[in-house]
Structure 1
Amino acid sequence: MTADHPDPVEERYIAAGGQRIRVSIRRGTGVPVVLCNGIGASLEVLDPLVAELDPDTTVIRLDVPGTGGSPVSCAPYGFPYLAWLLGRILTRLGVGVVDVLGLSWGGALAQQFALQNPRRCRRLVIVASGTGMIMIPGHPRVLAKMLTPRRFRDPDYAASIAGDLYGGTARTQGNDVAELIGTQLHAGSKMGYAHQLLAGSVWTSLPTLPAIRQRTLIVAGADDPIIPVVNARIMTRLLPHATLHIHDGGHIALVTNATELAPVIETFLHT
């Protein structure tokens, strides 16, 4: 960017709730969109999606404790705490009402934030996600590959398992997925990853979905080995104001095929 056109993206650290959280803000107009990432992933992984969103849209991203540039939490945490923490961060930024999008593990955080903040969360987008510990799981052989953050530290390993783990275009473009994962800052914290696994293992939104009153878009891939598409159909039935969009891709199509899915998301948010 030139001096006359300063870079609209700001990165900063915010102290809240006993944590020091790395946050990225792309300044724009309208209702800001908060992006919540998948397990073990730092905010850079969502760069392809952000690049496809309207450049005039305010986009807020963060690294949860123990991922990317955010230090590991001194104690385990759950999604209710993270949703409260996200609210504190937004307040520190001077941000009020937001739309929230969650990918995979981040979809749980997005659901919890919408539940705890019915007036602050305008619309909700849940991508490649489910209802937590009470859901239809993927095959145990697939889920076993997610028990450690090795794929974030070992590009060759990431490329070798990408197809089986993520499905969709990752079945033939494993090296591209490994390269995308490699863009992360300080990837692969074992303790941070363990905290995220624990948070997901004791949480479910299944009994509370009818209480989430926001208009919701559920995006699911027909070839998602981690979150079978039936979970999206169940969530659509239980959420009072949900719309379902099923695409042909896999678990991380939101970033590997952002050119297709970003318009779907923007149409939902702006109509």
Structure 2
Amino acid sequence: MAMGEHSAVALHYVIDGPADGPPLVLLGSLGSALDMWEPQLPALTEQWRVIRVDHRGHGGSPVPPGPYTVAELAGDVLALLNRLELNRVNFAGLSLGGMVGMYLGSETPERIDRLTLMATSAGWPDPTPWQARIEAVSNGGTEAIAPAVVKNWFTPDYAAAQPDRVAWAEDSVRKTPDLGYLGCCQAIRDWDHTNRLGAITAPTLAIWGTADPATPEEPHGATIAAGIPGVRFERVDGAHLLNIERADEVNTLLTSHLGG
């Protein structure tokens, strides 16, 4: 099933938790792989069938030629749900994963039960920074941008206290194939879903980091809070990868939203 110009790719995924548990798809940020969700597993796998997924061009997923669109990334996820014979799932996405979640929530509402959006955006008023990042990766690969990108992922205090986590994060960006990273950057640059937020019918939780320089609440969180009917908006004291920096709080919010 293609939702963009190109056909879907067979995404890499890992399933944890009870086989008969309600399915929960976790989809992460640009430059990450499915191991970014490990802090969520202890809290979620007792009750939910947790399906962690790598975007196309990331982790263990194929790297088709770009550019990509968010519609195509969402088509990949739908193709995976069809392969797994899952008609309806809970979905939690952070950053790029949240964009895919918004697309699925508005365009295929019958497939999404409960939706969680973290540190994400419905579109960039000014896409210039994305064009600059595309040029940086085109010239120097993901290696050239890894330290600058990861500066946005954690607060300075957390980064200072957790150097191993910072090293893991930089390695995650570096290991992302240049073509996959570029294709997803192009998808983000061209993404504007603001006028479709009102079509999201799933009960939605939005979690925002108060110190997130990548997708700050103004304008990104505020746009989503204003646009999705009945959204529950929560803040945690963290930066972009708040599921890691504030894992306990995020896990509590998630399990509460999902009915745990």
TM-score bracket, normalised by the shorter chain, equals: 0.7 to 0.9
The within-5 A match list for 1:87-236 is 87-134=78-125, 148=137, 158=147, 162-163=150-151, 166-167=154-155, 169-173=157-161, 175-181=163-169, 184=172, 187-230=175-218, 231-236=220-225
Following superposition, the deviation at residue 217 of structure 1 comes to 0.4
What letter is aligned with 2:85?
G
Could you tell me whether the CA contact under 8 Å between 1:224 and 1:251 is conserved in 2? Answer: yes
Deviation at 1:162, TM superposition (A): 4.1
Shift of residue 44 of structure 1?
1.1
- C-alpha distance 75-237 of structure 1, shift in aligned 2 (>3 A): closer
Counterpart residue number, 1:3? none
Are residues 163 and 39 of structure 1, via their aligned partners in 2, closer, same or farther at CA, if it must alter by over 3 Å?
Answer: closer
Q: Answer whether contact 2:11 2:54 (CA < 8 A) is retained.
A: yes
Unaligned runs of 5+ in 2: 1-5
> SS of the counterpart of 1:122?
strand
Amino acid paired to 1:106: G
Would you say the 8 A contact 2:115–2:205 is kept in 1?
yes
Unaligned runs of 5+ in 1: 1-15
CA shift for structure 1 position 144: 5.5
Show the counterpart of 2:67: 76
* Cα offset, 1:95, TM superposition: 1.5
SS of 1:74's equivalent in the other structure is coil
* Residue 243 (structure 1) aligns with: 232
2:11 paired with 1:21: yes
Deviation per residue, 1:77-128 (Å, 9 max, x gap):
2111221221111111121210111101111011111112111101110001
Inter-CA distance 127–87: structure 2 relative to 1 (3 Å threshold): same
SS class of match (1:119): helix
Mapped contact 2:65–2:179 kept (Cα < 8 A): no
| Structure 1 pair 227–75 and aligned structure 2 pair: CA distance change class (3 A) | closer
Q: Quick one: distance in 1 between partners of 2:37 and 2:58?
A: 14
Q: Residue 145 of structure 1: CA displacement?
A: 11
Deviations 1:40-59 (A, max 9, x none): 21111211122332423111
Give the secondary-structure state (helix, strand or coil) at the position aligned to 1:172: helix
Q: Quick one: which amino acid aligns to residue 216 of structure 2? A: P
When the two chains are superposed, the root-mean-square deviation of aligned CA atoms in Å is 3.2
Letter in 1 for 2:108: N
Q: State the TM-score, normalized to the length of structure 1.
A: 0.80
Q: Name the one with the larger helix percent.
A: 2
CA deviation profile, 1:55-76 (whole Å, cap 9, x unmatched): 2311111112211111211342
In the aligned structure 2, how far is the partner of 1:225 from the partner of 1:182?
17
The one-letter amino acid paired with 1:200 is: I
Cα separation, partners in 2 of 1:144 and 1:210, compared to 1, 3 Å: same
Secondary structure at the counterpart of residue 95 of structure 1: coil
Shift of 1:206: 0.5
